[in-house]
Amino acid sequence: MNKILYIHHAIGMGGAPRSLSMLIAGLNRTRFEPIVVMPKRSGNKAVKSLFLDAGAKVIEEIPVRPFNGSQVAPCATMMEKAYALTAFPLLAQLTKRLTDDLEPDIVHLNSTCLVAAARGVATSRYPCPTIAHVREPLLPNRWGRLLASLNRRYVNYYIAIDEAGLASIGDNIANGTVVRNFVDTKKFYPNAKLRGQLRNAYGWGADDVVFLLLSRIAHSNGVLELIDHIEAESDELNKAAHFVIAGFEGNGTDYSNEARRRIDAHQRCQMLPFINDVPGLLNAADVVVAPYLTSHSARCIFEGGGVGKPALVSRLPNLMEQIKEGETGISFDLSEPVAFRNAVNRFCDPIERARLGVGALNFTATHFSAETNIARTEDVYERLLNP
């Protein structure tokens, strides 16, 4: 039995903990024993339960703190940089102690922002191979290059969810592989009965073509830019096109409040709160929209593909890896509203939408299947254990 010590960086319920929990749940338990180290913070209960339910032993530690520097978490302010630099030696010391005590066979960092842990493993009495999961591209600025340099120095191998992320570590990364994100096909599958029930509940008519934006309500995800395009092209858009922006929570930011105001003022748009039933919402919709401004993965694309929904995406490297142009989705340049209008109208053709939906379903089954990608991750473990 080989111990895999996973180190996870955050307490929010995002894509990273969900992907890790699926990996842990699917591991071959005759070969691998999973142990997760995660931040000890108030509000971590849901993520902790996720890992426990997947079958991992969970250790909570205060010094688990990230060294951010990616497109999603840029570490933009001097205070954030000072926090990262201060936290680095604390996480390194913690991981050295845990590695000495637990003697894991592999340490798997759930993000490149945990590179300090790799430093700790390297100084342990029982050093072992360290893997870093590349979940979004590192920034091309000086701070991002520092983070990339630290990873190249201390990490032995990389598992990236896309080529764009792997390339951001540096040129000629031979000790890395792309294993796409996981979709749980036991939850995400076409369900006609559920679709009908939820469309009635949300007030969507049989003729409405629902374009769903299902991401954080944040500048990086292009929410206001999407609304700009809808407003600019409204008269030329197919009358059936209906746009739903989901994910609003409680007391919002200035950005989300502006998005609320703009949505309320437009008859084609509808706002929904944060909804836990993601498979149901995706089944009820017709097209997934990801108009992102910064290059990072969109979980809604492959989860939407799992229920047979095609995608409309902005033309960014990570997103272009998640579709096949004209076969599973359509891309557009955010600077070209006419391209957006043409893509929307193309999706409003039921025959074309059905064709793209079948393509999305097949593409997701091939590239994002949890079963396939867990096996590919285990292959990496086996190669590192038996070089």
CA–CA distance, 294 with 110 (Å, rounded to integer)? 21
Write the class of the CATH domain 192-367.
alpha beta
- What pTM value is reported for the model? 0.90
**Cα 324 to Cα 11, 111, 222, 299, 362, distances in angstroms:** 33, 27, 21, 16, 11
Q: Write out the two tokens for 44.
A: 């971590």
For residues 263 and 270, the answer to whether their CB atoms sit within 8 Å is yes
Task: List the pLDDT tens digit at each of the 387 positions of the chain.
Answer: 899 999 999 888 888 899 999 999 999 999 999 999 999 999 899 999 999 999 999 999 999 999 999 988 888 899 999 999 999 999 999 999 999 999 999 999 999 999 999 999 999 999 999 999 999 999 999 999 999 999 999 999 999 999 999 999 987 677 899 999 989 888 999 999 989 999 999 999 999 999 999 988 989 899 999 999 999 999 999 999 999 999 888 777 899 999 999 999 988 999 998 888 999 999 999 999 999 998 888 899 999 999 999 999 999 999 999 999 999 999 999 899 899 999 999 999 999 999 999 999 999 999 999 999 999 999 999 999 987
DSSP 325: B
Q: Regarding the domain delimited by 2-182+369-385, which CATH topology (the fold level of the hierarchy) does it fall under? A: Rossmann fold (3.40.50)
Q: Where in the chain are the domains?
A: 2-182+369-385, 192-367
Query: From edge to edge, which strands make up the β-sheet containing 2-7?
Result: 57-61, 32-39, 2-7, 106-109, 130-134, 157-160, 176-178
CA–CA distance, 72 with 62 (Å, rounded to integer)? 23
The whole-number pLDDT of residue 274 equals 85
Residues 6+ apart with CB under 8 A from 314: 222, 290, 291, 292, 293, 331, 332, 333, 334
Ordered alpha helix ranges (H), 203-330: 223-233, 254-264, 278-284, 299-306, 317-320
Query: Is it true that 2-182+369-385 and 192-367 share their CATH fold?
Result: yes
Query: From edge to edge, which strands make up the β-sheet containing 287-290?
Result: 269-273, 241-248, 209-214, 287-290, 311-314, 329-332
The whole-number pLDDT of residue 221 equals 92
